[in-house]
Amino acid sequence: MARVFVYGTLKKGQPNYKHMINTANGLAKFQGRGRTVEKYPLVIAGKYNIPYMLNIPGTGHHVAGEIYSVDEQMLQFLDEFEGCPDMYQRTLMRIQVVEWEGKGGAGEARAAADGILECFVYSTATYPPEWVGLPYYDSYDSSGKHGLSYVLRESRE
């Protein structure tokens, strides 16, 4: 099982969460909530209002999200869903645990108790330079005050 940190449309209550709970894609078990140890710019960009974490460590905010334990099948699905490696790249990042529900072995419990876990995150280093000038968020909600509702893939032209 791999650990994945999601910060955008795959979180609970967000437009693509359905993919995280669809067992046809593989298994994903919610472990807890966290935020990036380093600051990153989280922007909402493009005509479909997609959230992107720009891989510029030290800039932006400590980004909030959810930690999942996923099997190999789900990891493969997420790679494809996230357009990896062209649109997003899957990289390991250090995540500060804020709330932990995970049930695992002693090693996992110890790691969570220490408060920092290494998780795969889909961020991007392949973005138009003007995105750096967009507003940065510390948390994503498709129906947030920003007014930039995510456009589902099935609704795109």
Instruction: Read off the DSSP letter of residue 137.
Output: B
Name the residue among 116, 134, 21 with its Cα closest to residue 74: 21
Name the residue among 149, 154, 156 with its Cα closest to residue 50: 149
* Active-site residue, selected from the candidate residues 38, 66, 80, 82: 82
Query: How far is residue 8's CA from residue 46's CA, in Å, rounded to a whole number?
Result: 15
Active site residue 154: no
Q: C-alpha 133: how far from its chain's center?
A: 21
Active site residues: 82
